[in-house]
Structure formats: C-alpha cells, structure tokens
C-alpha cells in the first residue's frame, strides 16, 4: 500500500483511469506517509478529512469516466496559499489562527481538476528565506542526508520539496519570488518550474513581492510538472497582472525532440569560486543537450552581476508594503497590551512578536530603500537595473536562442543551522542563478541531473522565452531523459 505514494502523477492517473487503484487507496497511502513523517516537518497542517472527501468524490468522477488529469491525485499545498477554512499562515506567527474565508485561484483550479489536498506545507516565513529555517513551525528537513548530518531542503518552498522528494505526496504547489521553487527542487532532487509572470493567478496567495511572485508545481518529474502547470495556469480576472493568454496542454509539448534548438550558455553565470562539481554538472548538461541535437551557443547577459542587489532592493521594498496589513487590527496575532498602550504600541508589539527576524530585516530594508531621500538611489536604480536585465534576455532571445542552461544553485544542500551565524548576504547568494529569471518575468525550470561528491542531488536550470513553457518543459524533458536521474533518498524518518 505505502508504495502507492511513490507513484508519479502521470502513472497514478493512468492506474486510476484503468481502475487498478482508487483515489481512496492512493490517498490513504499518502496520509499514512504524511503521518509517519513528523521528523521531516514538511506537512504542518494535515487535512485528512478534506483529503478523504475529495478522494471519494474523485473516485465517483473516475467511475463516471469524467476524470481530468489530476482527478484523485493527492497533493501538498504550500502554506502561502489561502485555503478556505484551513489554516493558512505563510509560516508566520503573525497569522496565528488565520483560516481564510476564501480559496486561492490556484487551489480552486486544482480542486476543479480533481486534486486531493493532504495538508499545508512548511516554508520560510512569508517565503523569505532559502533554507526553510525562518518558519514559525520550525525547520523542514531534507529527506536526503549527508551521513547523519541533517540538511536543509532549501527554501522558501522547503516543505513542498521535502514532501515530494520523500514521496509523502505525488506533487506539491510552490511559489517562487527569487528561486523559491527551483532552489529547493535542486536541493531535493525533484523538478520545479516557475512559469512566466502572469501565467498563474496570484489571487489568494499571500503576497511577498507582488511583481516577482509566481506559483508553480513541484513534482517528481517533468511530465508531472507539465500536468500540474496546465491545471494551475490561466487568466484570472481577479488578478490584474494575470495574462489573458491561452493555456496549451503542456504535457502534449513533451516530444523529447530538441533537434535544432539553440541553447544559450551565459558566460556571466560562471562565477568565481564556483565548485568544480557544479561546473562539471553544467558541462555535462550541455553535452547531453548537444547529443540530443541541440545547438549550444555562448551568450552574454551582461547585467547579471547587478541582479542580486537589485532583487534585494525591489523584493524587500514591495514586501515592506505588502506586510503592512499585518497590524493586529483585523486578523491573526495581536499582542496583549499594557495599561495605557495605544495604537502605536499595538502595532509595534504585535509586529515585533508576530514577525521573525528575517521578515523584520526585510521590512526594515524595504522601508529604508523606499524612504524619502533614498528612493532614487535604491529603489529607482534597482528598477532601472531590472529593465536592463530584462533587455539582456530579450536581446538573447531575439538572436534565436530557445532556452538558456545554467546551474540551479551554487552548491548542493547545506546543513541545517550551518548558516545561522553567517552574514545574511551569504544566504542570499543561494539565489544568484535564479533571481534574474524573476526580475525578467521569465519561465525557469530546475531539474535534477546529477550528484555531488557526497551523493547529494544537484540540479540544472533552463530558462525559457516568455509564455513558451511548453517548449521549455520539452527541453527539460529531453535533458531529464538524457540525465537518467533516478536517485531517491533512503528512508530514515
């Protein structure tokens, strides 16, 4: 029974349709795995009642022969998504006890297509972090280990990555503002795609940095990512930044044929001090794609080095404003007040108690860069850099490049707590290969293609043209087939 949770979405879909298994069985298998995975701390709010009800309904739909691809498929949902009547806290103390009266567009669409929700997944607080160590629920733990050394699953979608890698669920939702899907996917040996900005509705997703946030799937392989992304995508009139562009069936794009595709290798991504094994992984990826018939070309994205600083101005600026609503007035945590305390004390105490240190740091940075006298020097300059970064990509794509291949992360997963005393900038460097994609609003996918010397998974990133997720997924599919990544973490939890 428990083996069922190891299924991929496409496999389970076919077995469900063939009536070899039921969603009820599949769901019970996953619920049992979730139950037994407390040490991973991936699931933070379990919803077995909802899961069983949805599974029952899915089985009825399947019996009637009316089953969309996700019908009966058990998923985990990142805590950043608002799910009606279910705790949705963005892993923050300030949203303690918050159960929204509404369902996010993404989960609404997944449920429309028959998906089963097992529960809510751990993450960095307000999606701010690269190690899932800023969560009010405590660290999520990577199912991959380095001997007995406990590793981070990455962040911010660390719970999603850990849950999928550990086969607690068949797939999970993630969100990606600077790499929060792709970096944890790489750290846990799974696939994660951040679609083009505007492809997936942000309505009902707790905002971190609105101009950068995009939701996407985290799955066991590229096909599953294509299936889930098809369901999650689409124009939403409730999100003004959502694009009214038709959504193709992304799975149908997976031919594996990339003959004649032009794959760009950006020279600026070859960083000083990049570990040899990352360099090697990247070269191997290029070779695999060349062998599959693609043309590998050297390209330049000259403003890359300014991306990280620009990102760490823009994202905190937006966050400082987006997080202003957490004031203790209407929902979530409110500090108990002393005699004589007024509204200012209520704000100060509530926010000091409710927000963790990393969130406070970013709110402070964001407030600073938007303040009178500094706005032009920081925020406006960062916006100009952002425009230049986007232009870099536009110019490369204009030369006929179909996709860009880069490492996903500068290293494999690091140990939990190891960065505790490091300069926060050391942690921000995790995003060095991924933030440009968010700044430019492009689709990016991370897929596992190899291991480091300690046997930990490593991933490569492919960056695609805007709205060409189908083509991007197909390139990733080809690379996935060539890489033959089959590793699974040994169960220890």
Give the interface with another protein as residue ranges (CB under 8 A): 81-82, 88, 90, 95, 98, 100-102, 104, 202-207, 209-211, 237-241, 317-318, 320-321, 323-325, 327, 329-331, 343, 347, 367, 370-372, 375, 379
CB nearer to another protein: give 347 or 493.
347
CB nearer to another protein: give 48 or 309.
309
Q: Is 231 exposed, middle or buried (0-12, 13-18, 19+ CB in 10 A)?
A: buried
CB nearer to another protein: give 6 or 99.
99
Q: How far is CA 410 from the centre of its chain?
A: 17
- Continuous segment of H or E residues that includes residue 428: helix 424-428
Three-state secondary structure call for residue 81:
strand
Nearest to 436 by CA among 468, 394, 470: 394
Q: In the complex, what is the shortest distance from the CB of residue 440 to another protein, in angstroms, rounded to a whole number?
A: 15
Q: In the complex, what is the shortest distance from the CB of residue 214 to another protein, in angstroms, rounded to a whole number?
A: 13
Q: Which residues contact 63 (CB under 8 A, 6 or more apart)?
A: none
Nearest to 23 by CA among 70, 49, 66, 58: 58
Q: Between the CA of residue 227 and those of 95, 99, 109, 175, 231, what are the distances in Å? A: 32, 29, 13, 17, 7
Q: In the complex, what is the shortest distance from the CB of residue 355 to another protein, in angstroms, rounded to a whole number?
A: 13
Gap between the terminal Cα atoms of the chain: 18
Tokens of 7: 């299924």
Q: In the complex, what is the shortest distance from the CB of residue 111 to another protein, in angstroms, rounded to a whole number?
A: 16
CB nearer to another protein: give 304 or 320.
320
Phi then psi for 339, rounded to 5 degrees? -55, 130
Three-state secondary structure call for residue 383:
helix
CB nearer to another protein: give 266 or 356.
356
Q: In the complex, what is the shortest distance from the CB of residue 85 to another protein, in angstroms, rounded to a whole number?
A: 14
Task: Examine the residue annotation and report whether 180 is marked as an active-site residue of this protein.
Answer: yes
* Residue of 131, 180, 231, 233 marked active site: 180
CB nearer to another protein: give 297 or 370.
370
Q: In the complex, what is the shortest distance from the CB of residue 311 to another protein, in angstroms, rounded to a whole number?
A: 14
Task: Examine the residue annotation and report whether 23 is marked as an active-site residue of this protein.
Answer: no
* Residue of 156, 233, 320, 446 marked active site: 156
* Residue of 78, 120, 220, 261 marked active site: 78
Q: Which residues contact 398 (CB under 8 A, 6 or more apart)?
A: none
Pairing label, strands 262-266, 295-299: parallel
CB nearer to another protein: give 122 or 320.
320
Rounded Cα distance between 274 and 411, Å, is 8
Q: In the complex, what is the shortest distance from the CB of residue 348 to another protein, in angstroms, rounded to a whole number?
A: 10
CB nearer to another protein: give 57 or 347.
347
Rg value, the chain, Cα: 21
Task: Examine the residue annotation and report whether 242 is marked as an active-site residue of this protein.
Answer: no
Q: In the complex, what is the shortest distance from the CB of residue 232 to another protein, in angstroms, rounded to a whole number?
A: 15
DSSP-assigned states of every residue in 98-141: ---SS--HHHHHHHHTT-EEEEEE--SGGG--SSS-S-TT----
Range list of H helices, 71-221: 105-112, 158-165, 182-188
Between vectors from CA 167 to CA 166 and to CA 172, what angle results, nearest 5°?
95
Pairing label, strands 214-219, 295-299: unpaired
Nearest to 174 by CA among 146, 204, 205, 139: 205
Q: In the complex, what is the shortest distance from the CB of residue 437 to another protein, in angstroms, rounded to a whole number?
A: 17
Rounded Cα distance between 179 and 213, Å, is 10
Tokens of 376: 């032009």
CB nearer to another protein: give 72 or 100.
100
Rounded Cα distance between 429 and 435, Å, is 10
**Catalytic residues, which ones?**
78, 156, 180
């Amino acid at each position: 029974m428990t083996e069922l949770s190891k299924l991929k979405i496409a496999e389970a879909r076919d077995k469900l349709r063939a009536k070899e298994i039921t969603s009820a069985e599949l769901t019970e298998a996953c619920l049992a795995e979730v139950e037994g995975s407390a040490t991973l701390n991936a699931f933070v709010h379990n919803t077995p009642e909802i899961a069983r009800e949805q599974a029952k309904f899915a089985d009825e739909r399947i019996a009637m022969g009316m089953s969309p691809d996700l019908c009966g498929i058990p998923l985990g949902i990142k805590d950043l998504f608002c799910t009606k009547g279910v705790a949705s806290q963005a892993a923050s103390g300030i949203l303690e006890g918050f159960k929204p009266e509404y369902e996010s567009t993404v989960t609404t669409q997944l449920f429309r297509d028959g998906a089963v929700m097992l529960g809510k997944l751990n993450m960095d607080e307000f999606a701010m972090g690269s190690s899932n160590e800023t969560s009010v629920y405590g660290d999520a733990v990577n199912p991959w280990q380095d001997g007995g050394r406990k590793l981070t699953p990455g962040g911010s979608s660390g719970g999603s990555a850990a849950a999928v890698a550990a086969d607690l669920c068949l797939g999970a939702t993630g969100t990606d503002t600077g790499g929060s899907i792709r970096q944890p996917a790489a750290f846990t040996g799974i696939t994660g795609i951040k679609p083009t900005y505007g492809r997936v509705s942000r309505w009902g997703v707790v905002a971190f940095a609105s101009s950068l946030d995009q939701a996407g799937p985290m799955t066991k392989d590229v096909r599953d990512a294509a299936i889930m992304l098809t369901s999650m995508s689409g124009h939403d009139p409730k999100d003004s930044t959502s694009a009214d562009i038709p959504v193709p069936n992304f799975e149908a794009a997976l031919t594996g044929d990339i003959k004649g595709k032009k794959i760009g290798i950006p020279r600026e991504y070859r960083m000083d001090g990049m570990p040899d094994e990352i360099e090697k992984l990247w070269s191997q990826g290029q070779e695999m794609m060349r062998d599959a018939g693609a043309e590998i070309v050297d390209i330049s994205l000259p403003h890359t080095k300014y991306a990280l600083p620009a990102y760490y101005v823009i994202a905190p600026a937006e966050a400082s404003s987006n997080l202003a609503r957490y004031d203790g007035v209407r929902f979530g945590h409110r500090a108990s007040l002393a005699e004589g305390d007024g509204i200012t004390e209520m704000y100060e105490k509530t926010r000091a108690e409710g927000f963790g240190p990393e969130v406070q740091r970013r709110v402070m940075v964001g407030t600073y860069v938007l303040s009178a006298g500094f706005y032009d020097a920081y925020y406006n300059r960062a916006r100009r850099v952002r425009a230049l970064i986007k232009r870099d990509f536009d110019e490369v794509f204009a030369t006929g490049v179909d996709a860009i291949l880069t490492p996903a992360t500068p290293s494999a997963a690091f140990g939990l707590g190891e960065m505790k005393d490091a300069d926060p900038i050391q942690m921000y460097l995790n995003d060095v290969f991924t933030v440009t994609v968010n700044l430019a609003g492009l689709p990016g996918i991370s897929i596992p293609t190899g291991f480091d010397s300690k046997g930990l998974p490593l991933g490569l990133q492919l960056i695609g043209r805007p709205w060409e997720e189908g083509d991007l997924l197909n390139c990733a599919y080809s690379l996935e087939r060539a890489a033959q990544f089959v590793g699974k973490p040994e169960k220890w939890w």
